[in-house]
Amino acid sequence: MSRYLSRAVAAFVALVLVAFIVPIALLSSRLVQAELQERADRHAATLAAVVGGFGVDQVDDATLAAQARDGERALLTDGTGRVVADSAPDEPRQVLPDLAAVLRGDALSAATEGGVVAAAPVAGAGEGIRGAAVVVLPVDAATARTRGVGVTLLVIGIAVVLAAWVFGALLARSLVRPVEQMDHQAAALAAGDLSARVDVMERPAELRRLAVTFNDMAARLQSLVQSQRAFVSDAAHQLRTPLTALRLRLEALEDRAPDDADVTVALREAGRLRRLVEELLTLTRLEHEAPATVAVDLGSVITERCELWTALAEERGVHVRAHVAGQGPLARAVPGAVEQVLDNYLENALRVAPSDSDVVISTDQRGSLVELQVADRGPGLSPDQRERAFDRFWRGPDPTGGGGTGLGLAIVARLVAAGGGRARLDARPGGGTIAVATFPAVDEPPPV
């Protein structure tokens, strides 16, 4: 932004300078032309007076050259207009204007293609007009003077534009620095640093008000989050104790009446309520914290979780297969996130997978990303259902009728996002669903 502002100021000043310098350059060119014309007129009159004292017949080329000024050419004509002396006889002679008026006693001043020409009548003592003294200032002289003025104006313009650019850069920096600090602190606040604040400057007043508003918002947000965390912590302690007591009483009642279906249902719902509370607490902690990430060997984690879930899969007649050869790719994730993601994906897959089908776990590295995939042969989900699956408390079709809390995939999405990845569900070719978790890939080995 500072570059944009400094360039904008420099461009504006450059446009203003162009609007002023072009007319000034044209006016300067005219003034230079008028100055040269006046100089030529003055020198022609002086030369005519000098030659008149000598006499036209007594002046030769050398004498005329001695009278000529630097950078100009002098010529002398007789009463008929014929050139009788030339200060530069070896150089090509340009076509002179009509000198008839000069020979009648009038001065001549004109600008031609060859330069500025001035002529004055040469009068002899009591003899009338004897000839004409002509002074020619070459076009190079006029061009050099005009070019000099133009170069001076150009240098001044460049210096002014550079000064404007420097001033604009300093001004932009002074204005942008508070905005950059606010952007940095806003990013820190979004990342979970609730103590992020910006310095309140005195000027300009608009940025001062913005800084005060930002700090008030951050303080209010910090207060609300701390209150929510305190409420969640208190609720956890308050809910766990009665739920534990309720579960113990239901288990005791089940021991005394093992065939009572109502007790079995109540015990199952108490367990589901306990899981719901635990998952809500987990989700709340994930949303209010910014956990650090580590390098995780996906191959090792997949092998470990497959061993744990194989027994349950065999009870349901489902085959769990891991397509990972040796050490799998390395991914950056929150500690324990990959294990929890796999557990959730496998639990959902085993719940919907038909008997004698397979659940395939695989990885796929694509540049700087690595995907963890769990594919099943269940009934699958529609595009709308796959889009909503990661919403809180959304529950898809369950052939077993057991049901879940509706928070598992929401926790998966938050865990994956905390590591810089993304979770999604894809349709599996031939029927079923592919649950995907994308993590950033890393090159360094995981910590031992």
pLDDT band of residue 188 (cuts 50, 70, 90) is confident
pLDDT band of residue 446 (cuts 50, 70, 90) is very low
Q: Which residues contact 375 (CB under 8 A, 6 or more apart)?
A: 349, 359, 360, 362, 428, 432, 433, 434, 435
Would you say residue 401 has pLDDT above 60?
no
State the burial class of residue 150 (Cβ atoms within 10 Å of its Cβ: 0-12, 13-18, 19+).
middle
Q: What is the DSSP secondary-structure string of 182-193? A: HHHHHHHHHTT-
**Which domains, and CATH codes, for the chain?**
2-146 (3.30.450.20), 205-288 (1.10.287.130), 294-440 (3.30.565.10)
Q: What gap in Å lies between CA 247 and CA 340, rounded to an integer?
A: 25
Would you say residue 45 has pLDDT above 70?
yes
Q: Which residues contact 181 (CB under 8 A, 6 or more apart)?
A: 198, 199
Higher pLDDT, 274 or 135: 135
Phi/psi-derived region of residue 297, left when phi > 0, alpha when psi is between -120 and 50, beta in every other case: beta
Would you say residue 16 has pLDDT above 60?
yes
Q: What is the DSSP secondary-structure string of 369-429? A: EEEEEEE--S----HHHHHHTTSTT-----TTS----S-HHHHHHHHHHHTT-EEEEEEPT
Determine the average pLDDT of the residues in 37-66: 79
Residues 271/237, Cβ–Cβ less than 8 Å: no
pLDDT mean across residues, the chain: 77
Determine the average pLDDT of the residues in 147-169: 75
**Assigned token pair, 11:** 């461009």
DSSP secondary structure code for residue 99 in this structure: -
Radius of gyration over alpha carbons of the chain, in Å?
Answer: 48
Would you say residue 302 has pLDDT above 50?
yes
Report the candidate in 424, 425, 419, 426 with the shortest Cα–Cα distance to residue 441. Answer: 419
Would you say residue 393 has pLDDT above 60?
yes
Query: 3-state SS string over 153-174?
Result: HHHHHHHHHHHHHHHHHHHHHH
pLDDT band of residue 3 (cuts 50, 70, 90) is low
Would you say residue 142 has pLDDT above 80?
no
Q: What gap in Å lies between CA 295 and CA 441, rounded to an integer?
A: 8
Higher pLDDT, 21 or 413: 413
For residue 404, what pLDDT is reported?
59
Backbone angles phi, psi at 87, to 5 degrees: -70, -20
Determine the average pLDDT of the residues in 147-160: 75
Highest mean pLDDT, choosing among 37-51, 124-138, 185-199: 37-51
Report the candidate in 312, 299, 342 with the shortest Cα–Cα distance to residue 435. Answer: 342
pLDDT band of residue 286 (cuts 50, 70, 90) is low
Listed range (167-171, 180-184, 308-312) with the worst mean pLDDT = 167-171
For residue 9, what pLDDT is reported?
65
Residues 329/338, Cβ–Cβ less than 8 Å: no
Determine the average pLDDT of the residues in 270-280: 69
Determine the average pLDDT of the residues in 42-66: 78
83-86 and 73-78 as β-strands: parallel, antiparallel, unpaired? antiparallel
**Residue range 411-430, pLDDT digits in tens:** 788 888 888 888 889 998 88
Would you say residue 279 has pLDDT above 80?
no
319-323 and 358-366 as β-strands: parallel, antiparallel, unpaired? parallel
Q: What is the DSSP secondary-structure string of 234-272? A: HHHHHHHHHHHHHHHHHHHHHHH-TT-HHHHHHHHHHHH
Residues 87/64, Cβ–Cβ less than 8 Å: yes
